[in-house]
């Protein structure tokens, strides 16, 4: 841990002494004016992160120091001299500097963006300079005040990135429960960052066992779980205590308790791939009890739905509750705030989560009369035009692909992908996480929309082999269930029960990684046999998942003869042979 702290500490340069040349300030400034033009943290008040911050600030700070503040705010605001501001704050004690950061919140509404940017950058640079000699209390006070000033941007601060390794170093010499949770909370703000994830992992590996006790309150554990979720750290496999506590907190969660806390725990369980029948039952009972509650918003309900989808639960009543509940909330939001709202409860990623859940389970979304798909598409289109998807093209791809899997071929949304130059540039990038979904979406478009070739050319050259019935399946797609069916077909061929000429594994839909068995009969007829195993069916062991339904639909549209054999239901060799004879020998209309 100490070596990692030294490495991280060297990554943050210490700000040189004031004054500095203007060119140097511009070069090393943390923020530019444009980052504050359209951003405001006023909307953070009342959000879950604000509640976590307030809880940590009120319950985990050391209030034993009763030294009065010697800072005179009027010396700095509301009319600071930006040119000498750095020299002024150099004379402040570190604890007073932290308080000045908090008072800067009031200054924000009374000045222009450029002056505010200069003040924030100067505060950040001065804090960086003080990190090496600061105490734990001073560092935490500094972070709390920056959290109050810039809750959405705190992880971008150089002082934040310098303070966390120093805090961990100081903590190892004076461990206590109060500082443990404070450090975990602030580390959780450093999301989508390799350094932050490494620090969090090392810190929890050393200290979690000591502080994760039955005495830890629910709110403290939720903050811990949220921090691991934000830094994409899977703790269930690392700690049995964390796993059992996570299950316990979810299962014992009251149906009348705060839904936002349960949703946070469920998101953590999803990220840890924690499958539990007890958790499924809690999600069911909580949803049924709170489906009409305004506290459970579109975002929260979508994440609860996603846990059901992750576990591939087949329950039409429960799924219908989620679909109708999500739609009613979405419709109410649109009617209240309009289509182009940037509401925190109907963000692009929440829409993507809802549609992904529908696609995973294979929900025929248009079969619900309450759901107005044209209205949903219009809302997504206006969000695209408003720029909400510009820096998250993967969400738009997920959204359109999910609609396609649900048999809603959204041609209008597909075209939007190619209208915005920034979206097209992102589509051209070779990113592993995005690539498979992008390729599958383009393949579906090539198959279902031949007219879309001109658009697809701007991203990749159309392959003309998006669908090829005799395409050989690579070895890694040949599942044990496929081999079992192939062995059974070979026995039927050898005993001449079915006039089979050839058998081989195929993957007819490019980039849809579900292989099948292609069977050629003596009369020249070719039939495709898909295998429904535990990996590709829902919890009832009979209903196929959304991707399997997509493949079956494409084959049916192409007029390919064949069928689907369920090896979960036909477990004996005799039953499997009987089912294969039915698929291969009986006319489709008689099955």
Q: Which sequence spans correspond to the domains of the chain?
A: 44-174, 475-585
pLDDT at residue 105, rounded to an integer: 84
The closest alpha carbon to 469, from 561, 572, 584, 550, belongs to 561
DSSP-assigned beta bridge partners for residue 565: 531
> Cα–Cα distance between 301 and 10 in angstroms, integer?
43
Q: Does domain 475-585 have CATH number 3.40.630?
A: no
Is residue 480 a contact partner of residue 446, using CB atoms and an 8 Å limit?
no
> Cα–Cα distance between 492 and 577 in angstroms, integer?
7
420: left (phi over 0), alpha (psi -120 to 50) or beta: beta
User: Distance of CA 537 to CAs 89, 540, 541, Å?
Assistant: 64, 8, 6
> Cα–Cα distance between 101 and 121 in angstroms, integer?
11
pLDDT at residue 480, rounded to an integer: 93
pLDDT at residue 16, rounded to an integer: 37
DSSP-assigned beta bridge partners for residue 537: 544
Q: Annotate 147-203 with DSSP letters as a single string.
A: HHH-TTTGGG-HHHHHHHHHHHHHHTTS--HHHHHHHHHHHTTSTT-HHHHHHHHHH
Whole-structure pTM value: 0.88
Three-state DSSP class for residue 32? coil
The closest alpha carbon to 84, from 118, 49, 35, belongs to 118
Is residue 272 a contact partner of residue 234, using CB atoms and an 8 Å limit?
yes
> Cα–Cα distance between 251 and 246 in angstroms, integer?
9
DSSP-assigned beta bridge partners for residue 563: 529
> Cα–Cα distance between 235 and 250 in angstroms, integer?
16
User: Distance of CA 111 to CAs 25, 68, 103, 114, 525, Å?
Assistant: 20, 28, 14, 8, 78
The closest alpha carbon to 417, from 442, 451, 446, belongs to 442
> Cα–Cα distance between 567 and 278 in angstroms, integer?
27
Cis bond upstream, residue 19 (ω within 30): yes
Tally Cβ neighbours within 10 Å of residue 113: 17
Tally Cβ neighbours within 10 Å of residue 428: 11
Three-state DSSP class for residue 64? coil
Query: Which DSSP letter does residue 467 get?
Result: B
Q: In the chain, what's the furthest Cα-to-Cα distance?
A: 97
Cis bond upstream, residue 78 (ω within 30): yes
> Over its length of 591 residues, how does the chain's per-residue pLDDT go in tens digits?
545 554 455 444 333 333 333 333 334 577 777 777 655 554 444 588 889 999 998 888 776 666 667 777 777 777 677 778 888 888 888 888 998 898 888 887 777 788 888 889 999 999 999 999 999 999 999 999 999 988 888 999 999 999 999 999 999 878 889 999 999 999 999 988 888 899 999 999 999 999 999 999 999 999 999 999 999 999 988 899 999 999 999 999 998 889 999 999 999 999 999 999 999 999 999 999 999 998 999 999 999 999 999 999 999 999 999 999 999 999 988 888 776 666 667 889 999 999 999 999 999 998 998 999 999 999 998 888 888 887 787 888 899 999 999 999 888 888 887 776 666 666 666 555 567 888 898 889 888 887 767 677 666 666 678 899 999 999 999 999 999 999 999 999 999 899 999 999 999 999 999 999 999 999 889 999 999 999 999 999 999 999 999 999 999 999 999 999 999 888 788 999 999 999 998 776 555
Is residue 189 a contact partner of residue 232, using CB atoms and an 8 Å limit?
no
Buried b (16+ CB within 10 A) or exposed e, 4-16: bbeebbeebeebe
> Cα–Cα distance between 498 and 459 in angstroms, integer?
46
Is residue 497 a contact partner of residue 519, using CB atoms and an 8 Å limit?
no
């Amino acid at each position: 841990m100490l070596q990692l702290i030294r490495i991280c500490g060297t990554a943050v340069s210490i700000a040189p002494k004031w004054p500095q040349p203007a060119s140097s300030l511009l070069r090393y400034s943390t923020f530019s004016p444009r980052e504050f033009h359209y951003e405001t943290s006023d909307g953070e008040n009342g959000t879950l992160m604000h509640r976590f911050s307030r809880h940590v600030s009120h319950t985990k700070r050391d209030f034993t120091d009763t030294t009065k503040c010697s800072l005179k705010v009027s010396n700095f605001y509301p009319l600071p001299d930006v040119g000498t501001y750095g020299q002024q704050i150099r004379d402040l004690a570190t604890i007073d500097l932290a308080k000045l950061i908090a008072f800067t919140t009031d200054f924000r509404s009374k000045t222009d963006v450029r002056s505010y940017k200069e003040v924030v950058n100067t505060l950040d640079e001065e804090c960086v300079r003080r990190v090496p000699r600061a105490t734990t209390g001073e560092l935490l006070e500094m972070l709390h005040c920056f959290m109050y000033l810039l809750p959405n941007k705190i992880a971008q601060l150089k002082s934040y990135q310098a303070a966390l390794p120093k805090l961990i170093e100081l903590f190892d010499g004076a461990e206590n429960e109060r500082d443990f949770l404070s450090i975990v909370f602030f580390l959780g703000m450093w999301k989508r960052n390799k350094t932050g994830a490494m620090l969090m992992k090392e810190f929890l590996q050393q200290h979690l066992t000591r502080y994760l006790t039955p005495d830890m309150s629910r709110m403290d554990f939720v903050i811990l779980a949220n921090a691991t979720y934000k830094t994409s750290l899977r703790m269930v496999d690392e700690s049995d205590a964390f796993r059992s506590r996570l299950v316990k907190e979810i299962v014992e969660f009251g149906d009348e308790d705060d839904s936002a806390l349960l949703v946070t725990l469920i998101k953590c369980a999803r990220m840890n791939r924690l499958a539990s029948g007890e958790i499924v039952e809690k999600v069911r009972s909580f949803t049924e009890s709170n489906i009409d509650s305004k506290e459970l918003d579109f975002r929260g309900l979508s994440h609860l739905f996603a846990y059901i989808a992750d576990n591939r639960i087949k329950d039409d009543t429960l799924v219908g509750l989620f679909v109708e509940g999500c739609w009613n909330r979405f419709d109410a939001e649109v009617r209240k705030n309009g289509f182009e709202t940037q509401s925190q409860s109907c963000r692009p990623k929440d829409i993507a989560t809802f549609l992904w859940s529908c696609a995973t389970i294979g929900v025929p979304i248009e079969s619900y009369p309450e759901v107005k798909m044209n209205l949903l598409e219009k809302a997504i289109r206006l969000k695209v035009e408003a720029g909400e998807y510009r820096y998250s093209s993967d969400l738009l791809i997920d959204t359109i692909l999910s609609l396609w899997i649900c048999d809603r071929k959204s041609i209008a949304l597909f075209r939007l992908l190619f209208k915005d130059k920034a979206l097209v540039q992102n589509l051209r990038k070779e990113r592993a996480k995005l690539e498979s979904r992008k390729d599958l979406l383009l393949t579906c478009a090539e198959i279902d929309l031949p007219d879309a070739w001109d658009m697809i050319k701007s991203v990749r050259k159309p392959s003309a082999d998006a669908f090829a019935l005799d395409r050989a399946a690579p070895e890694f797609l040949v599942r044990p269930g496929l081999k079992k069916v192939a062995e059974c077909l070979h026995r039927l061929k050898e005993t001449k029960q079915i006039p089979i000429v050839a058998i081989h594994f195929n993957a007819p839909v490019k980039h849809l990684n579900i292989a099948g068995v292609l069977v050629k009969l003596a009369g020249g007829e070719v039939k495709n046999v898909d295998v429904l195993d535990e990996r590709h069916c829902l919890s009832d062991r009979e209903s196929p998942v959304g991707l399997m339904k997509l493949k079956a639909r494409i084959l049916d549209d192409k007029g390919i003869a064949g069928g689907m054999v369920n090896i979960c239901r036909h477990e004996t060799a005799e039953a499997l042979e009987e089912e294969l004879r039915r698929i291969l020998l009986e006319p489709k209309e008689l099955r």
